[in-house]
A and B are shown apart, each in its own frame.
Chain A
Amino acid sequence: MSALSIKNLHKSYSNGFTALKGIDLEVEEGDFFALLGPNGAGKSTAIGIIASLINKSDGTVSVFGHDLDSDPEAVKSYIGLVPQEFNFNQYEPVEEILVNQAGYQGVPRREAFRRAEIYLKKTGLWDKRRVNARMLSGGMKRRMMIARALVHHPKLLILDEPTAGVDIENRHSMWDFLREINDNGTTIILTTHYLEEAESLCRKIAIINQGEIIENTTMSGLLNRLHCEVFLFDLKEPVSEVPNLGDYAVKLIDECTIEVEVSREQGINPLFTTLSNRGLEVVSMRNKQNRLEQLFVELIQQSGEA
């Protein structure tokens, strides 16, 4: 079943700026879906329309088969939103913010307190439940917004840059938490500027630029399109000059690090054989650039040129 179906969605603002130029998007139930794009591409506008925060100019949006225009309350009851900006009462205690959100969704107060406890514990904020929200750190505020978005058990969770400003340790624990939610059946749409986050979490991806969808495919399908990747190799013994690795293009970064460009046709296994034949022992290797980031930049450039 389609969790989200968008057809010909347009949005023009009163100042004449057109944020969305007729986008189509399908997100299947259970997907972990990445919606990526540069700043100002139209991601937040699209999310704002889906979540009823922005009025659309044209097109249709339906969530789990319910049309946003004819049945907005059903659509809203399916969605949990974690917006980009902090949008809670900074002077309310954390627990109250969650309980109120549950109440707006029609969850009885006693049950709302029970759910608030569950999600505040899961997001590591239970000890802060009586603290005014303005006293939380940036990362804690983000986690609180995730907990708030989950109190009514939404079937579709929309995360607009949920880990912005969150430290690495907490980001990884949030990833685990989001995977768990997705594994339990919640469809997730994620926008992020951390492309390794999208690559690590999402199975499907759409890229939006200048108000248009320029790519909509599976994550693995997109990554397979990479023509070449650049790897950095850390060598055990220093080298004084650029080693000759046959057809592979090589650069010397420093005496113990070389950069090698590997095309899809060449493959990486023959490279290890070549390195071994040259007597070069590799200690570790890594991608020079995140693979998705590399593709993302290419696609955005192509779309801009077109």
Chain B
Amino acid sequence: MAMPRYAIAYQTILTKEILRFSRIWIQTLIPPAITTALYFLIFGQLIGGRIGQMDGLDYNQFIVPGLILMSVITNSYSNVVSSFFSCKYQRHIEELLISPVPNWVILAGYVSGGVVRGVMVGIIVTLVAKFFADFTIHSYLLTVTVFVLTSILFALCGFINAVYAKTFDDISIIPTFILTPLTYLGGIFYSIKLLPDFWQQLSLFNPVLYMINAFRYGVLGISDIDIATALTIIISFIVALVIFSLYLLDRGIGIKQ
């Protein structure tokens, strides 16, 4: 049976996106593996031995979920923001705008591209983590669910950043000044139980905290946060960002005169 027109358009955008980051695999797939290996070597092996246990686990094991998810967040975001912005910058976004492709298909195609890269990097980083730390997955279903939902959420953030970006500086400001601090302060390297009350409460406003804890529960079976609350927050963010992204596309903000 012939594929519906929208499915062909979606497949085309996704294939284009996968080919794009695969062509430059040395820039896109290898650096997260090296960075993660360094984190494990320095924080896990060298410093982690002196820290001892955290939430009843070796520090080496404790940081595994956070480091995997950090790579997923960074790569899902950067894939979409760089690809869609360069699409605007080189004006080949016009190829899509003049075609009978609905906005939701454009959004789905780019977000899926970000998710595929996030998943590929996540798998690579998990393999690296396996080399440094001994762990077994507590809940595959929850692990995969949080993994994919987080990837979708940050791919959407990257898309919105790209829509508003006018220069290459604009696509690095958000990751540098917002995304990285939120990720590092989201409990990758520590349990928020270690923080004074005020900072614990403040941390609860960081959405990344919920993702990392939900993922940590999936991988290791421990969390500082209620899992149902975490999933509700992640899904709510996704719904809100999808609606906002479609609004931007419908209005042609940042892409049409």
Question: Which A residues lie at the B interface, using CB under 8 A?
Answer: 13, 48, 51-55, 72-74, 76-77, 79, 81, 83, 85-90, 92, 96, 99-101, 103-109, 148
Contacts and interface: CB of A to CB of B under 8 A. Distances in A.
30 contacts: A51-B97, A52-B98, A53-B94, A53-B97, A53-B257, A54-B256, A74-B100, A76-B98, A76-B99, A77-B100, A79-B98, A81-B98, A89-B90, A96-B16, A99-B12, A101-B95, A103-B12, A103-B15, A104-B12, A104-B13, A104-B96, A104-B99, A105-B5, A105-B100, A106-B5, A106-B100, A108-B8, A109-B8, A109-B12, A148-B95
B99 A105 contact: yes
A106 B100 CA distance: 8
Contact of A88 (B5, B12, B92): B92
Contacts of B90: 87-90
Interface in B1-52: 2-3, 5-6, 8-9, 11-13, 15-16, 19
A105 B6 CA distance: 9
Contact of A104 (B19, B95, B257): B95
Given A53-B256, A55-B256, A55-B257, A104 B94 contact: no
Nearest to A103: B12
B11 A109 contact: yes
B246 interface: no
A107 B92 CA distance: 19
B217 to A, nearest CB: 40
B257 A48 contact: yes
B111 to A, nearest CB: 17
A100 B256 contact: no
Contact of B257 (A13, A72, A77, A106): A13
Interface string B156-180: 0000000000000000000000000
B207 interface: no
A273 B240 CA distance: 84
Interface residues of B, number: 29
B98 A103 contact: no
B101 interface: yes
Interface in B71-91: 86-87, 90-91
B181 to A, nearest CB: 32
Given A48-B257, A77-B100, A104-B101, A87 B8 contact: no
B12 A52 contact: no
Contacts of B221: none
A104 B11 CA distance: 9
Given A53-B97, A88-B90, A103-B8, 18 more contacts: A53-B98, A53-B256, A54-B256, A54-B257, A74-B100, A79-B98, A87-B90, A87-B91, A87-B94, A89-B86, A100-B12, A101-B95, A103-B11, A104-B96, A106-B8, A107-B8, A109-B8, A148-B95
Contacts of A89: 86-87, 90, 92
Contacts of A101: 95, 99
Contacts of A73: 100, 102
A108 B3 contact: yes
Contacts of B254: none
B248 to A, nearest CB: 14
Contacts of A53: 94, 97-98, 256-257
B91 A103 contact: no
Contacts of B87: 89
A55 B252 contact: yes
Contacts of A86: 91
A54 B92 CA distance: 15
Most B-side CB within 10 Å, residue of A76, A81, A92, A104 = A104
Contacts of A85: 91
Interface string B46-76: 0000000000000000000000000000000
